[in-house]
Amino acid sequence: MTVEKFVTALGITVSVYCINHGSLALAIQWPESGRTCTIWVDPVANYYGNTVDYSSVPAADVLLITHAHGDHLDKALAEEAIRGGALCLGSEEVAATLREASALPHHAPVKVAEGITVTAVPAYNQSPGHLKFHPQSRKDNGYVIDIEGYRIYVAGDTEDIPEMENLKGSIDLAFLPVNQPYTMTIPQAVHAARMIAPKALIPYHLTDTDLTLLEDSLKAALPEADLRIVPEFR
């Protein structure tokens, strides 16, 4: 499991556990005090035979679940984390599927820990023939996680939707999915990256995406960005 590290302007360390496909964890540690908070996003222990031992990931304080598809919601794993004391937030569909989860509507910031707020944002398909996978009407979530001014965007399963323009220039680290027909093509991911203009970018939800072409395309689009390609996100 790859762990990518970022340090905010305030010296807060954000360790990104790149787990699999659409699953990641953010282990956040403040300097001096050593205070920590860990956020799991779409935790799944077994993705098509790829089993992950979550005991190697710091225990969750917060769960964020984008939608209820099986590659994003592992009920048994989520329920175990909730029993351990984790706060669980998700889309309306997730809250209907997982009793312990609370629905987080779009554009309504919620404080989940001292210094950390989470805002749900839209995630959906818009290409003809692909609307059935993630319809806009279902109100799936992406998330903007604000850590004392350091802003992380986890897009969820979405295409390059116009709402991404609202994030332009405000995102320090973005996670964008790249695997049509379910999420984005490489050109769509390039368009999304240009709309958002994050300082750092990690593509995820990759499946059989051509990683060399993806890397070359994103580097050409955002030459100044800190681009990291992580094979675990296939």
The CATH number of the domain holding residue 40 is: 3.60.15.10
Distance CA 229, CA 124 (A): 23
Domain extent, residue 148, equals 2-233
Q: Which residues contact 194 (CB under 8 A, 6 or more apart)?
A: 221, 222
Indicate the pairing of strand 36-41 with strand 23-29: antiparallel
- For 226, the token pair is 């800190």
H or E element that contains 219: helix 211-221
Q: Sorting pLDDT into bands at 50, 70 and 90, what band is 191?
A: very high
How many structural domains does the chain have? 1
Q: What order of strands is seen across the sheet that includes strand 62-65? A: 2-7, 13-20, 23-29, 36-41, 62-65, 87-90, 102-103
**pLDDT tens, position by position, 117-148:** 999 999 999 999 999 999 999 999 999 999 99
pLDDT greater than 90 at residue 50: no
User: Please, are residues 25 and 208 in contact by the beta-carbon 8 Å criterion?
Assistant: no
Q: Sorting pLDDT into bands at 50, 70 and 90, what band is 46?
A: confident
DSSP helix/strand/coil, 170: coil
162: left (phi over 0), alpha (psi -120 to 50) or beta: alpha
**pLDDT tens, position by position, 16-26:** 999 999 999 99
Distance CA 130, CA 124 (A): 10
> pLDDT value at position 94?
97
User: Please, are residues 153 and 169 in contact by the beta-carbon 8 Å criterion?
Assistant: no
pTM of the model: 0.97
Number of H helices, E strands in the chain: 4, 16
